[in-house]
Structure 1
């Protein structure tokens, strides 16, 4: 059932894409598919404890807004099965004109629960030699052997200057 729904979603997305038809002099027709190249980065690593992979890429970018996403997974050598032991994701948003930003991320470890983190930065003042911003962050652990933990949060006023 899941493969059917996934296939139907892929077909619907392909049909909804705007294609231009190009016809050559000999009568052959071709679909011109728009291509957009974005910087994407895949990292992987192996060590004595296991293997991990993460992929980061830009989801949306224009003159005012930028949205980036990251997905990651890791597998410990000593665990059973082929499912990943840890997996997670993160979204990062930036408002370019103001320099403000926000993020949300979650990491799930099988048998130990989920960590959720949310944060943001508001740029109060920025000049060539001086900047002030307000940042806030919230994190909490859910589930696992220790149960749901207490929230961890904070709000900070940051200033920096170049002399």
Structure 2
């Protein structure tokens, strides 16, 4: 995990505390407070107030605006984007965030669909269509591959997670 180095000694100390706390979470060393374990589940953790902005309502829009201030003016700037990230545990969560972020950009939405077709099936062509209908194949969300329906706008950054064709420049 890369963190900003901080300019002042106070910023560097704050970043070090945050990095240490993240490592404790990763190593399973952060536990719920001892006072009231009955309201916590096994994987719950308490986020320290130092790492929260309690003045803001806890919602997706505020998180996006905090992480990407002045996004609509800067979304085409590689340096601006490379200094910011929202980490999520699942593809479903990041899909929701990506949709919310793309919606803030002015312009026409272009929708791209995958072509889902099963191959190497031992039966006939009609059996194949019956066994693997397109709706079933569209429901898969495979890590490293885009979803069946991908909505983009001109200027939106797309990161390839897999090298598709290096000779055409389609590589991460």
TM-score, length-normalised on structure 1? 0.21
More strand by share: 1
Which of 1 and 2 has higher RCO (CA within 8 Å, sep 6+)?
A: 2
TM-score, length-normalised on structure 2? 0.21
